[in-house]
Amino acid sequence: MNILLLGYGKMGQLIGQIAESRGHQIAGKINIDNREELEQLDPGKIDVAIEFSQPEAAVENISWCLERNIPILSGTTGWLDRKTDLDQLTLEKNGAFFYASNYSIGVNIFFKVNEFLARLMNEASGYKVSIEEIHHTAKKDAPSGTAITLAEGIMNNLKGYSKWHLSDGTHENEQSISITSKRIDPAPGTHIIRYHSEIDDIEISHTAHSRQGFALGAVLVAEWIKGKKGVLSMDDFLSF
């Protein structure tokens, strides 16, 4: 399979290494320094694109692929206010667009555990939920896309919460999920869900030890998406 890499930072490089180790070829490695090379590529020779770039480049990258009937999966966060537009473009072009805030299989299991715990907490009183996420200092967006997905999982399953906010350490909104973002090297990603009461705390957490799980998950999705159509997600891939 010929894979186009859109974004060639640490994640893109690791994805490329894993893809090649699984017998795939890299059709192009595009980043901010060589974007002009994108127009020189033959779309007919690209089976799938994997997009891990920057928020300001993601929409253009994804649109470029959809316009050329190239299945694309993206893991870039910080641009989701435009996702509805890209979903619509996917349907108009009868293309394939896969988005996930996190491609780690372990994290996606954690998403389901988070939702299950949120449903259980409807039966308890006196608890305030919050989220803490820790990433390396090179991560530009805050909160992380994974933290936002976790907040959405809580809001969809626990009564009384309809929004989240990035905590600044001052007065907290009781009806909003507080997300604390920390940037500490070399942390690849830790997410903690905490239910606090005067009596006790309940916590669940996921800690990544490296980027390996994220990169492998992206390659597995790239292998899976070929021949599929529509707006897709990890729920489609994992069939939970």
pLDDT above 70: percentage of residues in the chain = 98
Name the residue type at position 160: G
Tell me the H-state helices in the chain: 10-21, 55-67, 83-92, 105-120, 145-155, 212-225, 234-238
Indicate if 196 belongs to the active site: no
pLDDT at 103 over 60: yes
**What is the predicted pLDDT for the residue at 187?**
83
Q: Are strands 25-30 and 2-6 parallel, antiparallel or unpaired?
A: parallel
The string of pLDDT tens digits covering residues 112-126 is 999 999 999 999 999
pLDDT above 90: percentage of residues in the chain = 84
Domain locations in the chain? 2-103+212-238, 105-207
Q: Measured between alpha carbons, how far apart are the two ends of the chain, in Å? A: 27
The string of pLDDT tens digits covering residues 166-187 is 998 666 677 899 999 999 998 8
Of residues 49 and 138, more confidence is placed in: 49
Indicate if 136 belongs to the active site: no
Instruction: Measure Cα distances from 118 to 114, 115, 155, 194 in Å.
Output: 6, 5, 8, 11
Second CATH level (architecture) for the domain 105-207:
2-Layer Sandwich (3.30)
Instruction: Measure Cα distances from 144 to 82, 115, 233 in Å.
Output: 17, 18, 18
Q: Is 53 exposed, middle or buried (0-12, 13-18, 19+ CB in 10 A)?
A: buried
**What is the predicted pLDDT for the residue at 217?**
95
Q: Which of 24, 135, 191, 206 is catalytic?
A: 135
Q: Which of 128, 136, 139, 196 is catalytic?
A: 139
DSSP 70-100: --EEE---S-GGGHHHHHHHHHHTT-EEEE-
Query: Which residues lie across from 179 on neighbouring strands?
Result: 131, 166
Closest C-alpha to 44, from 97, 4, 88, 89:
4
Phi and psi based region of residue 116 (left: phi greater than 0; alpha: psi -120 to 50; beta: remaining): alpha
pLDDT at 240 over 70: no
Would you identify the CATH topology of the domain 2-103+212-238?
A: Rossmann fold (3.40.50)
